[in-house]
Amino acid sequence: MSRLHHRQTAQLCQALASPPRLHLLNLLAQCPWTVGELASETGGSIASVSAHLKPLRTSGLIESEKVGREVFCQVKAPEVFELLSTASRVAETLDPSLREAGRIADEDPYLYRETDMDRLIRDVRDAQIHLLDFRTEREFHHGHVPGAQSLPFTQLSKNSIDRFDPQRPAVGYCRGPWCAKALESVETLNDFGLPTQRLRLGVLEWRASVGDLTPGDSYPDPSLS
């Protein structure tokens, strides 16, 4: 039995041992995607993306489901979120370059330093802060941190923040703690006059360590970018 367990665990680890596959899996942790959409998002070819998805599917990390005329790839089980979050945390702990990058990130003046996420949710519920989701609308509508409002990084402008009270601070998140779009979005909003801090957690880390998301659509609306 131990040999079987080791063999299956090794197969899973081999499936993860690829930066492109980890990138795809992190995208699928946000919402389901078709192969063509993943190719467009990552800049790869459909053939290359399909080849990378195969070991993820074989190892049981993802599955495919046909919806209408489209075939969506999606994370197969909630444990995958915990696996990805733990693997990232272990890498940050063991790798000196990642430890240094984490130390620098922790010095970010815009970093939201409150560690009690229950307090964050209370502050959002009590209208003390704005909680902003910088991901695409389709990712937001699939599931988001409770109380968050959608403000895609592709749509940031001075006009886009008119609906937010500048006297109430904001906290924003994107696809994860290393997402450059979160850093850029927070800096842009501060330049526009909306005091904004960056939440170090992304949706994947939230699901793994805090709790459930506010559910949205099971599969993305193709009209949402």
The model's confidence at residue 37, banded by pLDDT at 50, 70 and 90, is: very high
Do 203 and 157 lie in one domain? The reply is yes
Q: Is residue 141 part of a domain?
A: yes
Closest CA to 53 of 31, 66, 72, 78: 72
Do 121 and 211 lie in one domain? The reply is yes
Which phi and psi (to 5°) does residue 32 adopt? Answer: -65, 145
Q: Is residue 95 part of a domain?
A: no
Write down the pLDDT at residue 216: 62
Q: State which of 64, 79, 94 marks the end of a domain.
A: 79
Q: State which of 56, 79, 102 marks the end of a domain.
A: 79
Quick check: 20 pLDDT over 70?
A: yes
Q: Is residue 102 part of a domain?
A: no
Range of the domain at 147: 114-215
Q: Within 10 Å of residue 91's Cβ, how many Cβ atoms?
A: 12
CA distance 177 to 70: 31
Closest CA to 127 of 170, 182, 174: 170
Do 198 and 148 lie in one domain? The reply is yes
Q: Is residue 164 part of a domain?
A: yes
Summarize pLDDT for 51-110 with one digit per residue, the tens. 999 999 999 999 999 988 899 999 999 899 999 999 999 999 999 999 999 898 889 999
Write down the pLDDT at residue 72: 95
Q: Is residue 162 part of a domain?
A: yes
Write down the pLDDT at residue 212: 82
Q: Is residue 148 part of a domain?
A: yes
Q: Is residue 20 part of a domain?
A: yes
Return the higher-pLDDT residue of 134 and 225. 134
Which phi and psi (to 5°) does residue 22 adopt? Answer: -65, -40
